[in-house]
Chain A
């Protein structure tokens, strides 16, 4: 008689966000295949509702984890803790924002309907897997689900050659980085005998490796693989090209969502799993963080294309997040999460504005397109101003609050030089945002520019909501900081 298979314990309640995203994507694809002519509003509304549903569901999930503690299931390969819930929340927000921005973008560009939304939902599902992975293999799975969807998303603007170029670059480099990551996982497995994060960290805590060359090599390769995804120097070279070429709503998702998932993965792998080797990887992180903020800020200054500017500024932000991450303390982790949250709002709002300004064809991204915007579109320019000041880290915006957090984490850990370098880079980067402000307010409207019409509703909602949230966080930072402080990442054995 053959014994029946014992299936592992599954905490279905913790899988709801993942399943929601995935099933929403599948259903949308099915419906779109069955029905020839869908109402245009259905797909974005569907996506936004899925995101909203996830966001609402996270509230009871948050309190449940707070009550019962973190958990892990599926034979200990997937975990649920408050940090994964926090990151899932960021992903949901980014999905909603990207869907709203796309609502008017796709008809304007005369692009086919539902694929963007399906891929967006799939990609979000991958992000959720990454944020709650308790096993390196699962982490890799999540990363691939996330990335492959984004490769296709980048190519979605069929008639722009830049979009195709962006997708190809992103795909090739992404595939490389995945290979690095996989090899890193293999080496870590070789050194520790497991791919499970809990077992790896337990093994490293209990055993002292006489010869840790293989583990260190694996650690380095993991860093390379994840470093590509979050775009830190020297693995950042794809960012400006891809951001410039990819459709703008997709860029909003890439900057907000993919980055959040990537940093969540970095945190789980390095701070939690390889925490015992912090003295080995911290110097590398510090050097990378310093190089990232400096290179990003300096190169951003000479850009003339706004999307490229924002791409380099996103590199600077990635460096700032690393400044908090390298501390490898509770303070550092919570500062990273808070930064990711505020950065998500800053970036989706900014790219919402960029989507509107770019005009039909998604082509006008030069500074010229922003000249005199303060006069033509006072409201939109005002919102963009708030977002740019937030990105620059000006006081009383959320940008300052979270920058203060990561700097405090770095200083607390004794990395004074790194904090100093980061602040200097922030001052350099401020020039980039000032250039945009100068173009919007201090330069005259070039003659021959038609006064553009109404601002599409979806993008406007995203931009205004983001700006309001950034301001509110800047003035009343308590709630967000408390959430981020409570969102402690933990590994629980299955």
Chain B
């Protein structure tokens, strides 16, 4: 594949999206041939590969044409001719920020944490994971998307299993089987979709996302069935309550870098899948099933918050807070209006940054104290004031304090949900309060109070750790104060997606636009955040 992709580099413009996939793969191969006993060299290669990949993803931000709702940076290479599968990549405003988030979090995670043992396979798996994730966000061919969606399981499995804590083998296996079983039917759904589409249009078999989505050639019944197959895969990956049970285990047993990537990027595969392959491919079915997902989203918000409140393990608490946050994203997505989807999308990025940072911080505490139990900690504010301060900011962003990034996303989600389904939004707003409860309470128990024993002389953040956290903190503040650059790139794509859904659902568009006009146009509300 490498050779094929590189061969396409000769075309008019540099194929940056394939390069985003290929660079980490090459880095992984390079790591595998380096001497095993030089961990610092291995780390240097791994981090620089991730930094190069990240730089390329940031370059996308500047090269991205603002205001264009379509796909950009397209590149296509035929792959399996007989089945019409081709390596088709392209991004729009929806996937752009997820690609950038991936490009940001991987160098951070690689730089922040050392594996401790077996450095060579660790870095190789991390880089392969990055390649897979980039592939998911960039793929516009259904089969290629599925390939990348599935293949990320393997590196993640080894990362959790080999470098995790506690009963990590069990957690890794659970994670693998849960997600693999979930996506089993999606492959059948993809095949059925492509063949039915080919039958209906008389065209050759093809898995081109845009062609299939724009044609909408399936019968309502078939589309609903296939949507269900897709939705199961995404729901497990997100995870949506009640399919979430793999998540706390995987998070708790995973190594810190694994948790950061899992929370920051991998959970987004599901929510991104809903947007790109749920709503876009099956607008009618999405609308038909929306009440189910709205309900499950709200249940997830409240359930995650309540269970998080009761956790004794700090990492588990953050894991359950993820369940709640992802409930918000689902709520926004299935509000099926511009505000909701945009909020959900923002929330994906926000959750990646905030929860990623939270896991990093918990990992740092664990590295110093050897425990994550809230009961064993206390008064850390005195011994490590900087760490406490950073933790405070990140936590407030996670709660959704105005002025920080979490607020923008949560507000838009609630706005969108309120416009579409008032009572669900009211219930979800209760979840915000619960989030404040469990996070503040946890902060109080960990950082306040008298410091005893080892807690009293815990070292504060080192330079490297501060360096790693700085970009995340900057992003948290920047996106809270001035989200316009992000939103203006998202909005055309989100808008066109919403139009697409409305167009294909009879008698759906009216109430939303009425409600929207009462609140006022969205662009005005940006200024209020700022």
- A residues neighboring B (CB under 8 Å): 334, 389, 394-396, 400-401, 404-405, 407-408, 411-412, 416, 419-420, 423-424, 426-428, 430-431, 434, 437-438, 441-443, 475-478, 481-482, 485
A-B contact pairs, 10 of them (CB 8 A): A394-B150, A404-B143, A405-B83, A408-B83, A411-B188, A419-B192, A424-B184, A434-B177, A441-B162, A442-B169
Q: Which of B2, B79, B153, B188 lies in contact with A478, CB distance below 8 A?
A: B79
Query: In the bound complex, what is the Cα–Cα distance between A411 and B195 (angstroms)?
Result: 7
User: Given that A389-B154, A442-B168 are contacting pairs, would A395 and B148 also be in contact in the complex, using a CB cutoff of 8 Å?
Assistant: yes
Query: In the bound complex, what is the Cα–Cα distance between A430 and B184 (angstroms)?
Result: 11
User: Is B80 among interface residues, defined by CB-CB distance under 8 A?
Assistant: yes
Scan residues 74-132 of chain B and give those whose CB is less than 8 A from a CB of chain A: 79-83
A416, A428, A482: which has the most chain B beta carbons within 10 Å?
A416
- CB contacts (< 8 Å) of B195 on chain A: these are 408, 411-412
How many A-B residue pairs have C-beta atoms within 8 angstroms? Tell me: 96
Is there an interface contact between A426 and B169, defined as CB atoms closer than 8 Å? no
User: Given that A401-B80, A430-B177, A477-B79 are contacting pairs, would A442 and B147 also be in contact in the complex, using a CB cutoff of 8 Å?
Assistant: no
- CB contacts (< 8 Å) of B192 on chain A: these are 411, 416, 419
Is there an interface contact between A419 and B150, defined as CB atoms closer than 8 Å? no
Is there an interface contact between A427 and B169, defined as CB atoms closer than 8 Å? no
Is there an interface contact between B177 and A395, defined as CB atoms closer than 8 Å? no
Minimum C-beta distance from A164 to chain B (A): 37
User: Is B185 among interface residues, defined by CB-CB distance under 8 A?
Assistant: yes
- CB contacts (< 8 Å) of B211 on chain A: these are none
Minimum C-beta distance from B140 to chain A (A): 17
- CB contacts (< 8 Å) of A416 on chain B: these are 188, 192
Minimum C-beta distance from A16 to chain B (A): 30
User: Given that A423-B187, A477-B80 are contacting pairs, would A400 and B147 also be in contact in the complex, using a CB cutoff of 8 Å?
Assistant: yes
User: Is B374 among interface residues, defined by CB-CB distance under 8 A?
Assistant: no
Minimum C-beta distance from B32 to chain A (A): 9
User: Given that A394-B154, A419-B191, A423-B187 are contacting pairs, would A404 and B83 also be in contact in the complex, using a CB cutoff of 8 Å?
Assistant: yes
A389, A395, A442, A476: which has the most chain B beta carbons within 10 Å?
A395
Is there an interface contact between B82 and A485, defined as CB atoms closer than 8 Å? yes
- CB contacts (< 8 Å) of A404 on chain B: these are 83, 143, 187, 191
Beyond known contacts A394-B150, A395-B151, A416-B192: 7 more, CB 8 A cutoff: A389-B154, A396-B147, A404-B187, A423-B188, A428-B181, A478-B80, A481-B81
Minimum C-beta distance from A319 to chain B (A): 15
Scan residues 1-34 of chain B and give those whose CB is less than 8 A from a CB of chain A: 1-2, 4
User: Is B176 among interface residues, defined by CB-CB distance under 8 A?
Assistant: yes
The closest CB in chain B to the CB of A472 belongs to: B1
User: Given that A404-B143, A438-B169, A441-B161 are contacting pairs, would A423 and B81 also be in contact in the complex, using a CB cutoff of 8 Å?
Assistant: no
Scan residues 129-148 of chain B and give those whose CB is less than 8 A from a CB of chain A: 143, 146-148
Mask of B207-246 contacts with A, CB within 8 angstroms, 1/0: 0000000000000000000000100000000000000000
Minimum C-beta distance from A293 to chain B (A): 12
Scan residues 164-198 of chain B and give those whose CB is less than 8 A from a CB of chain A: 168-169, 172-173, 176-177, 180-181, 184-185, 187-188, 191-192, 195
Is there an interface contact between B151 and A396, defined as CB atoms closer than 8 Å? yes
Is there an interface contact between B185 and A420, defined as CB atoms closer than 8 Å? yes
Minimum C-beta distance from A126 to chain B (A): 32
Query: In the bound complex, what is the Cα–Cα distance between A412 and B173 (angstroms)?
Result: 33
Query: In the bound complex, what is the Cα–Cα distance between A428 and B173 (angstroms)?
Result: 12
User: Given that A404-B143, A431-B177, A477-B79 are contacting pairs, would A442 and B185 also be in contact in the complex, using a CB cutoff of 8 Å?
Assistant: no
- CB contacts (< 8 Å) of A476 on chain B: these are 1, 4
Is there an interface contact between B147 and A395, defined as CB atoms closer than 8 Å? yes
User: Is B158 among interface residues, defined by CB-CB distance under 8 A?
Assistant: yes
- CB contacts (< 8 Å) of B180 on chain A: these are 427, 430
- CB contacts (< 8 Å) of B168 on chain A: these are 442
Minimum C-beta distance from B345 to chain A (A): 26
Q: Which of B151, B169, B229 lies in contact with A443, CB distance below 8 A?
A: B169
9 pairs of A and B residues whose beta carbons are closest in the complex: A423-B184, A395-B147, A427-B181, A442-B169, A411-B191, A395-B151, A475-B1, A419-B188, A427-B184
Is there an interface contact between B177 and A438, defined as CB atoms closer than 8 Å? no
Q: Which of A401, A424, A442 lies in contact with B172, CB distance below 8 A?
A: A442
Is there an interface contact between B153 and A394, defined as CB atoms closer than 8 Å? yes
Query: In the bound complex, what is the Cα–Cα distance between A411 and B225 (angstroms)?
Result: 14
Is there an interface contact between A424 and B185, defined as CB atoms closer than 8 Å? yes
User: Given that A395-B150, A441-B162 are contacting pairs, would A427 and B177 also be in contact in the complex, using a CB cutoff of 8 Å?
Assistant: yes
The closest CB in chain A to the CB of B4 belongs to: A476
- CB contacts (< 8 Å) of B184 on chain A: these are 420, 423-424, 426-427
- CB contacts (< 8 Å) of B169 on chain A: these are 438, 442-443
Query: In the bound complex, what is the Cα–Cα distance between A482 and B83 (angstroms)?
Result: 11
Query: In the bound complex, what is the Cα–Cα distance between A441 and B1 (angstroms)?
Result: 28
The closest CB in chain A to the CB of B36 belongs to: A378
Query: In the bound complex, what is the Cα–Cα distance between A424 and B82 (angstroms)?
Result: 25
Is there an interface contact between B191 and A434, defined as CB atoms closer than 8 Å? no
- CB contacts (< 8 Å) of B229 on chain A: these are 420
Query: In the bound complex, what is the Cα–Cα distance between A396 and B149 (angstroms)?
Result: 12
Minimum C-beta distance from B83 to chain A (A): 6
The closest CB in chain A to the CB of B158 belongs to: A441
The closest CB in chain A to the CB of B182 belongs to: A427
The closest CB in chain A to the CB of B191 belongs to: A411
- CB contacts (< 8 Å) of A412 on chain B: these are 191, 195
The closest CB in chain A to the CB of B168 belongs to: A442
- CB contacts (< 8 Å) of B191 on chain A: these are 404, 407-408, 411-412, 419
- CB contacts (< 8 Å) of A411 on chain B: these are 188, 191-192, 195
- CB contacts (< 8 Å) of A420 on chain B: these are 184-185, 188, 229
Query: In the bound complex, what is the Cα–Cα distance between A405 and B389 (angstroms)?
Result: 55
B162, B168, B191: which has the most chain A beta carbons within 10 Å?
B191
User: Given that A395-B148, A442-B162 are contacting pairs, would A407 and B188 also be in contact in the complex, using a CB cutoff of 8 Å?
Assistant: yes
Query: In the bound complex, what is the Cα–Cα distance between A420 and B192 (angstroms)?
Result: 11
The closest CB in chain B to the CB of A422 belongs to: B188
Is there an interface contact between B81 and A478, defined as CB atoms closer than 8 Å? yes
Query: In the bound complex, what is the Cα–Cα distance between A434 and B175 (angstroms)?
Result: 11
Is there an interface contact between B146 and A395, defined as CB atoms closer than 8 Å? yes
Query: In the bound complex, what is the Cα–Cα distance between A400 and B154 (angstroms)?
Result: 14
Query: In the bound complex, what is the Cα–Cα distance between A135 and B83 (angstroms)?
Result: 33
- CB contacts (< 8 Å) of B1 on chain A: these are 396, 475-476
- CB contacts (< 8 Å) of B153 on chain A: these are 394
The closest CB in chain B to the CB of A417 belongs to: B188
Is there an interface contact between B151 and A394, defined as CB atoms closer than 8 Å? yes
The closest CB in chain B to the CB of A481 belongs to: B82
The closest CB in chain A to the CB of B192 belongs to: A411
- CB contacts (< 8 Å) of A475 on chain B: these are 1-2
Is there an interface contact between A482 and B154, defined as CB atoms closer than 8 Å? no
Query: In the bound complex, what is the Cα–Cα distance between A434 and B177 (angstroms)?
Result: 9
The closest CB in chain A to the CB of B120 belongs to: A378
- CB contacts (< 8 Å) of B4 on chain A: these are 476
Mask of B434-476 contacts with A, CB within 8 angstroms, 1/0: 0000000000000000000000000000000000000000000
Q: Which of A407, A423, A434 lies in contact with B173, CB distance below 8 A?
A: A434
Minimum C-beta distance from B61 to chain A (A): 29
Query: In the bound complex, what is the Cα–Cα distance between A430 and B173 (angstroms)?
Result: 10
- CB contacts (< 8 Å) of B151 on chain A: these are 394-396
Is there an interface contact between A442 and B83, defined as CB atoms closer than 8 Å? no
Minimum C-beta distance from B128 to chain A (A): 10
Query: In the bound complex, what is the Cα–Cα distance between A482 and B191 (angstroms)?
Result: 20
Minimum C-beta distance from B194 to chain A (A): 8
Query: In the bound complex, what is the Cα–Cα distance between A396 and B4 (angstroms)?
Result: 14
The closest CB in chain A to the CB of B81 belongs to: A478
Is there an interface contact between A434 and B188, defined as CB atoms closer than 8 Å? no
Query: In the bound complex, what is the Cα–Cα distance between A475 and B151 (angstroms)?
Result: 12
Query: In the bound complex, what is the Cα–Cα distance between A431 and B178 (angstroms)?
Result: 10
Is there an interface contact between B154 and A424, defined as CB atoms closer than 8 Å? no
Query: In the bound complex, what is the Cα–Cα distance between A400 and B151 (angstroms)?
Result: 10
The closest CB in chain A to the CB of B184 belongs to: A423
Query: In the bound complex, what is the Cα–Cα distance between A485 and B195 (angstroms)?
Result: 18
Q: Which of A389, A407, A437 lies in contact with B187, CB distance below 8 A?
A: A407
- CB contacts (< 8 Å) of B143 on chain A: these are 404
A389, A407, A426, A437: which has the most chain B beta carbons within 10 Å?
A437
Q: Which of A423, A430, A485 lies in contact with B176, CB distance below 8 A?
A: A430
